[in-house]
Structure 1
């Protein structure tokens, strides 16, 4: 496997020439410029390349094990975690009040991309810890914040999210875990959860579980779910956390991929926990963590495709096979073959377009949290909410497809473990499933997000695209025109879905989300292609933009045709005939 090359040049291009990073930071009063941001990303990329990629394959082959009820992670993972925390990477975007660095979220998101490209199993420890901290910061009492947030921010402790039960997957209304009050603020949590990523490890320190459970008098359904902070270790009389709580790992799931990530069956046997947020409002509190995780998972798809692409491109430049197109040369590098170029460009056009869209979204997340104008905060928050299911589902679908395409470049070698490509495919697959399956994300987009503020949020987003396409038309007319035509199809589909019933919306949702993602990335390609300059990077951007609008964006017409066909054909076959 080739050493990982962090995409620093692309980050630099996006920060300085596409996303107007310095201007955005100035508007928010954040004293970070592109030069500092690049330096941070360079250091992050170095850590991922030098410490995390080298243990990725061994972690996959060794996997996690369970010994005397304790999880043992693969060799090198505990040491890598301690190095990661000592370098401050867990505190990158966290609030300074609890020891965080308070850096812009775009740096966090692109760090997540590099983590996913080099060691997805490892990156989950960091992402879940950050998500737990965000939920506690948003909803917990001040004493819980003071106790837990400094340790989670530093990475001395880690976090886990415990939602799923064997009989309650996506439908959380069916969950059965109970929480019995012991005192005014302490509860005994009893139940079993499955699929709990980072449920335990051997890094040392505490593991802070956020657990959904029901109080004795809770109403039925999702309106009766509360959220509890349940730590592995409880506070002792000396002010430390050394008392073992009554939660345990019942088993480790045997999985298709992310073998180095301990996915646990967790048993809570009257485990002591504290209520986070209001009683029976736990789902709303948990969604603070889930929405953060959904952006992270989308970036996992992006990172996996990017990591696989870099391996495939290097292989294609070196692998000699076949004759040149004119038949005059034999044993040419396979990068000269049209079909190999097609596969590589399909992956690259997603990775670079997705990276730009993720960066734009991350800047709006900072606006939603830090802008001085409340109306601007609300506007950006709505845009992030709109794009969250698009990034989660669109990026993970395209990320898996990209990993498969990159594997295909290797031919038979891609199927053999030593080249590392089959691990990309196996690891990428989970991102389409967890944190809400991609079908659920699509239904969320169509059923909830399109209707925000009576459709004004999505209309605002489309208007932003219109403005940028008009500005780009004079420089890259073909690109802007093609994206404009696809946007028109997306607008028509949006209008058609406005009054759709649940059956129609469900049948259309996945195709609609993919159409939305393709147009949104086309918008980014128009912006990137319109950047003036004659460096190799500028030339490459314009070339890939041409490929995107000629070979990828035409999918929009097929998706629009599928959407206009309606859902009737989905229900012609009786259920018993399947």
Structure 2
């Protein structure tokens, strides 16, 4: 059974208590967003997620999207839900007020995204991609394009997509063939086909604004010859209402493993009018503005699905009677005890819980840096925030989606045979979670980005934004009797990370394949240390709250218990990752191609 109640208390803990000492707070531009206002927004967001979106999750999966005469229909109830969502202002939460947005901090926006993804990840893609598109347009488009398109997109009246992939090229965008021919009026005519376009066609909005990668006739080969264009489905009229069709058509919708209520389309452009976004042949830089935004949001998708899977598993584990507790009968009036009494079921539930709380804690840290990167007036804070965001973006995308998929699988395991049956609802989480490890750059690509680009950038400067706070915390708290074991575990894992960093730097300079062979393990290792740091801080704060006689003792005791489980059962994976990194590429690359 799919159940979900927004984890508001934990969200408030992350927003108001956990990261107050990170140096990214006290931003004047965000002073109006007081804790009371933030809490009110989160509570309203929870209502939207639980009351409007969650009831459509299972039915949307069963019905899916349909293509009729070139028009895509979303599942029953989606159009009405989107109208409520848009009218409530939820499309415009974090957008710039200049274009009609509410200018909320990313800290709040990311928690809202988690709730939406937990309730209905297919639905989340429609407004989510639009927000990413507005980010690219705001950062790179001309003032005329901004004035013409941003207000409608920010409000949610028009939606957005990003059109990168073609049938013959996925990650290697340098191979794309879509062409853009300049016109005398300064516009371009685009011709080509794109595949795997999320929200590429649907019935939720009056117009769809495609951001399309294409080549001009004089473009150099490879990624250095790619430009970005804004191509609307309908050409706007002078009064900003949709006008004539712009030669954009849907050839098919993909029949997918999951996310069946999200329309993933094959899109054709036939002499479609578009306008250049950014500079000629600099389309990848402009598109990455959107993709980096989307990569963090895709990580949040993993967290959202993981949280929904966890809650559904807890519901079942408390309800399902099977066997007797090894420590003695716990349900004497029933024929068996609920399966939550069994250690292996507890292992699975605690693993999911720790993954979710750890990822949520990192979300709060990264989103505070996103706010500081955008709004801080102190150049040092702004630079440190930018460095931290650059370092952690691939970690958030890869780690959160890996763990979200693992949590979904664990939920099925908790349900046993019933989890494998569609009626339970939890097998949908496995199917929905799987794509997040692939799109917006596969998790292997994220690992290569971290190791190949982020680690060596500016002589390792990005790492300092992470290493310094972890090192400072360890030194300040290693003598704390209450935290001792946790800090000791964090110190050992942090040491493994430092040694792994040095190993990759030394081997990678001689042989790039050595760095590539270590990339996935290094990404997991960095993510585990980040989670460990957040859990140790959480335990420190929780101990202080309990010592002060808080009225929420149960919450803080649970926080400490989850932290202890993480350090006992999950953080030891850091040793495995370190040993794998240290082993190098030899065994990985030894087998001849023909032997596979």
- Fold shared, TM-score > 0.5 on shorter chain: yes
Q: What is the 5 A alignment of 1:111-510?
A: 111-328=112-329, 331-473=336-478, 474=480, 475-499=482-506, 500=508, 501-510=511-520
| Contact kept? 1:16, 1:22, Cα under 8 Å | no
How far apart, in 2, do the equivalents of 1:428 and 1:520 lie?
A: 22
Q: Which one is further off, 214-223 or 9-18? A: 9-18
Whether the 8 Å CA contact 2:15–2:107 is kept in 1: the answer is no
1:549 and 2:563 are equivalent in the alignment: no
Assess, with a 3 A threshold, how the Cα gap between structure 1 residues 149 and 347 changes in structure 2: closer, same or farther: same
1:285-319 per-residue CA deviation (whole Å, 9 max, x = no partner) reads 00000000000000101111001001111111121
Shift of 1:118: 0.8
The equivalent of 1:524 in structure 2 is 534
5+ long unaligned stretches in structure 1? none
Q: Is the 8 A contact 1:472 1:530 kept in 2?
A: no
Check whether the contact 1:21–1:34 (CA below 8 A) recurs between aligned residues: no
Shift of 1:463: 1.3
CA apart distance, 1:567: 0.3
Corresponding position of 1:64: 65
Q: How far, CA to CA, are the matches of 2:146 and 2:464 in structure 1?
A: 38
Distance in 2 separating the partners of 1:564 and 1:371: 39
The answer as to 2:587 corresponding to 1:569 is yes
Distance (whole Å) between structure 1 residues aligned to residue 582 and residue 240 of structure 2: 63
What's 1:558 paired with? Answer: 576
Q: Distance in 1 between matches of 2:126 and 2:28?
A: 30
Q: Does 1:533 align with 2:540?
A: no
- Aligned mates of 1:472, 1:310 — CA distance in 2: 33
Task: Tell me the residue number matched to 1:4.
Answer: 4
Q: CA deviation at 1:533?
A: 2.0
Question: 1:523-553 CA deviation, whole Å, 9 max, x = no partner?
Answer: 1000101011231111011111111011001
The equivalent of 2:20 in structure 1 is 20
Partner of 1:215, secondary structure, is coil
Question: Separation in 1 of the partners of 2:244 and 2:189?
Answer: 15
Partner Cα separation in structure 2 for residue 343 and residue 505 of structure 1: 33
Does the CA-based 8 Å contact 1:128-1:293 persist in structure 2? yes
> What whole-Å deviation, never above 9, does each CA across 1:114-149 have from its counterpart, x for those lacking one?
111110010001110000000000000001000111
Q: Secondary structure in 2 aligned to 1:353?
A: helix
Residue 250 of structure 1: SS of its match in structure 2?
A: strand
Report deviation, 1:238: 4.8
CA distance in 2, matches of 1:39, 1:470: 38
1:202 is paired with a residue whose SS is coil
Residues 306 and 341 of structure 1, relative CA distance in 2, 3 Å threshold: same
Could you tell me how far 1:327 is from its partner in structure 2? 4.4
**Alpha-carbon deviations, 1:367-410, whole Å to 9, x = none?**
00100122321221111010000000011011101110111111
Quote the Cα distance in structure 2 between the aligned partners of 1:523 and 1:204. 43
Secondary structure of 2:167's counterpart equals coil
CA distance in 1, matches of 2:68, 2:587: 52
Task: Give the 3 Å change call, closer, same or farther, for CA 96–21 of structure 1 in structure 2.
Answer: farther
Unaligned runs of 5+ in 2: 547-552
1:77 maps to 78
For residues 195 and 266 of structure 1, what CA distance do their matches in structure 2 show? 9
What are the superposed Cα offsets for residues 328-385 of structure 1, whole Å, 9 maximum, x if unpaired? 4561111110000000011110100110101110000010010012232122111101
Q: Secondary structure at the match of 1:387?
A: helix
Alpha carbons 2:234, 2:246 under 8 Å: kept: yes
Specify the SS of the correspondent of 1:265. strand
Shift, 1:33, TM fit: 1.6
Aligned residues of 1:227 and 1:282 also touching (Cα < 8 A)? yes
Give the whole-Å Cα distance in 1 for the aligned partners of 2:238 and 2:555: 60
Out of 103-112 and 215-224, give the one that drifted further: 103-112
| Partners of 1:172 and 1:222 within 8 A in 2 | yes
Q: What's the C-alpha RMSD, in Å, of the aligned pairs?
A: 1.4
Structure 1 residues 222 and 168 mapped into 2: Cα distance closer, same or farther (>3 Å)? Answer: same
The answer (yes or no) to whether the contact 2:2–2:424 under 8 Å persists in 1 is no
Aligned equivalents of 1:185 and 1:214: distance in 2?
Answer: 16
TM-score (norm 1): 0.98
Provide the rounded CA distance (Å) in 1 between the counterparts of 2:229 and 2:2.
44
User: What is the DSSP-based 3-state SS (H/G/I as helix, E as strand, rest coil) of the residue aligned with 2:26?
Assistant: helix
Q: Match for residue 43 of structure 2?
A: 42
Q: Deviations over 1:239-279 (max 9, x none)?
A: 53221110100000010000000000000001000000000
Q: How many residues align?
A: 578
What CA deviation, in whole Å up to 9, does each residue of 1:482-534 have, x standing for no partner? Answer: 01110000000001111312211111111111111111111100010101123
